[in-house]
Amino acid sequence: MPSAGPPRVVVSGSGNDTITITDNVNTFVDAGAGNDKITTAGGNDTVVLNGGNNTVSTGAGNDVIYAGNGVDKIDGGAGYDVVNVGNLANYTVSVSNGSVVLNSTTSGQATLTNVQFVASVNGTESLAIVNSQAEGIALRMFDAVLGRDADAGGAQYYTQQVNGGTSLSTIANNFINSAEYTAAHGSNVSDAKFIQDIYQGALGRTADAEGLVFWAQQLVTGHTRADVVVGIVGSAESQAHDTGVIVVTGQV
């Protein structure tokens, strides 16, 4: 198990350094400016990359890595691992050989393996990297229902809920009944307005007449609003629209 208490601090200089942590003590690593190779074990570790081309493997634990402006290869290992970049809006995202590749339009590249979340330090966009379509549907509900990208804590929570057997309808109900949703939409949203809001959040467009009639009919024939959310968010159109969630199978 990761240790309790404050982390151990390791600071490297400007040379090309190799840092290897073999115990489970939570460790903070400041990588300096060189081309570094950093390996940690079972702690909940934090690694800060600066310049240079770095290779990072953080082992087990829930780790946080701050990408630098070089060419970095990051393997988060087991656990729920978060990579922070300056502003995700300045990156293009692709998948290559089971890894997510972030290419900055200004400087730097990061190749991510076994990383579950990418956050923006200076922006509002995020990228959730999930292992299944069910996880993807759950996390796209952030945009569809709440109108925003997932945060790291929420993404981790709902990923765990899916993998623990919680139904997507139950998760959708949690979003619909949340204080955040009520604060934005009120507590007396009509069916038509609800459907339009989900279309806008999940698909980025207003509902077409046929779709509006279909989902309204579902609601008057025994289906719930949670069912509507799951149906719309689970569509191929929603998956293509929401670039803040990407499915990459085979992660740990």
What are 186-229's pLDDT values in tens digits?
999 999 999 999 999 999 999 999 999 999 999 999 999 999 99
Task: Please check the confidence at residue 157 and state whether its pLDDT lies above 70.
Answer: yes
Q: What is the pLDDT of residue 107?
A: 81
Q: What is the pLDDT of residue 122?
A: 85
Fold (CATH) for 133-244: serine acetyltransferase, domain 1 (1.10.3130)
Q: What is the pLDDT of residue 4?
A: 65
Q: Where are the domains of the chain?
A: 8-124, 133-244
- How many Cβ atoms from other residues are within 10 Å of residue 70's Cβ? 20
User: What band does 185 get if pLDDT is binned at 50, 70 and 90?
Assistant: very high
Comparing 251 with 74, which gets the higher pLDDT?
Answer: 74
Task: Please check the confidence at residue 152 and state whether its pLDDT lies above 90.
Answer: yes
Across the range 120-136, mean pLDDT stands at: 94
Q: Kindly write down the DSSP assignment for every residue of the chain, as one continuous string.
A: -PPPSSPEEEE--SS--EEE--S---EEEE-TTS--EEE--SS--EEE--SS--EEE--SS--EEE--SSEEEEE--SS--EEEES-GGGEEEEEETTEEEEEESSS-EEEEES--EEEESSSS-EEEEESSHHHHHHHHHIIIIISSPPPHHHHHHHHHHHHTT--HHHHHHHHHTSHHHHHHH-S---HHHHHHHHHHHHHSSPPPHHHHHHHHHHHHTT--HHHHHHHHHTSHHHHHH-TTEEE-TT--
